Amino acid sequence: MKRKNKQVPKWVASTLEIVLMIAILFAAYYLASPILTHKPVDPQTWLYFPVQMFVALIAVGAYSYWKEKSTAKRKAAEAKAKKDAEIRKQREVAESSAQHEANIKRNQNVKQNRN
């Protein structure tokens, strides 16, 4: 029996990638700091690590969600503007051709009235 893969929203995937990188950098910093500074790491530092990652997850997730939504709105606005411009151009072409035809008829009438 095959399971269908449910795709994760793009903003969730990017959030998890970023928070994973932040977690790795924090852990590397906490592990390397005693070697580089010759001072022991406070045990509370590791107790706050999950809280820091949770806060990072919320902050980065909120930003990624907001960015995704604003990008979608911007793309929709650009598509609408492009469509409106195309409609406006078609309308102008139709009006100019109608005006051109009216000018031709007017000129023909003027010529006929002169004769």
DSSP letters, the chain, are: -PPPPPPPPHHHHHHHHHHHHHHHHHHHHHHHHHHHHSSPPPHHHHHHHHHHHHHHHHHHHHHHHHHHHHHHHHHHHHHHHHHHHHHHHHHHHHHHHHHHHHHHHHHHHHHHHH-
Amino acid letter, residue 91: R
In the block, tokens 């000129």 appear at: 107
Confidence band for 101, pLDDT divided at 50, 70 and 90:
confident
The percent of residues in the chain predicted with pLDDT above 70, rounded, is 95
- pLDDT, tens digit (0-9, with 9 covering 90-100), for 19-65: 999 999 999 998 898 888 888 888 888 889 999 999 999 999 999 99
**Euclidean distance between CA atoms 83 and 75, whole angstroms:** 12
**Euclidean distance between CA atoms 107 and 113, whole angstroms:** 10
Domain range annotation of the chain: 10-114
**Euclidean distance between CA atoms 73 and 66, whole angstroms:** 11
- Of 10-14, 20-24, 40-44, 82-86, which gets the smallest average pLDDT? 40-44
Tokens (6 digits) for 41: 């790491």
